[in-house]
């Protein structure tokens, strides 16, 4: 595929929309559907970023795209839970504070789409 930007954008949209909605739903079916949608979004982003096996040895733009994607994904995996823990420490753990955390997750998701 020559134009991968569109696929990456679709992947980010799917993930960015499904994650905050998890905080607003309570039924098992809706949660399962949103997790599936998030997984499809993640898979679309990873698939479009390129193959990881090329490494630094002349892999070109695909390797750099995969490396950058991995860097940002890993940073978000560390920073996101730290922010969530901070919010839970600042507020008393309750359904309302958990929903707030999921809604706050929409902010970096929206920023990624710009």
Over residues 43-57, the pLDDT tens digits come to 876 666 555 554 444
Residue ranges of the domains in the chain? 5-113
* Calpha distance 91→35 (Å, rounded): 26
Q: What is the pLDDT of residue 30?
A: 93
Distance CA 98, CA 81 (A): 12
pLDDT of residue 49: 57
pTM (predicted TM-score): 0.62
Those residues of the chain that have pLDDT short of 70 are 1-2, 45-66
Beta-carbon count within 10 A of 14 CB: 21
pLDDT of residue 34: 92
Which residues, 6 or more positions from 70, have their beta carbon under 8 angstroms from its beta carbon? 52
Backbone angles phi, psi at 107, to 5 degrees: -65, -55
Q: Report how far residue 101's alpha carbon sits from residue 89's, in angstroms, rounded to the nearest whole number.
A: 12
């Amino acid at each position: 595929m020559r134009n991968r930007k569109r696929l990456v954008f679709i992947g980010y949209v799917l993930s960015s929309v499904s994650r905050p909605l998890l905080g607003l739903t309570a039924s098992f079916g809706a949660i399962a559907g949103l997790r599936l949608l998030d997984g499809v979004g993640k898979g679309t982003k990873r698939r479009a970023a390129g193959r990881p096996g090329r490494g630094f040895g002349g892999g070109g733009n695909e390797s750099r795209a995969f490396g950058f994607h991995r860097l940002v994904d890993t940073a978000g995996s560390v920073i996101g839970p730290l922010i969530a823990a901070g919010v839970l420490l600042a507020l008393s753990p309750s359904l309302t504070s958990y929903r707030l955390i999921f809604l706050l997750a929409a902010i970096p998701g929206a920023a990624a789409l710009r």
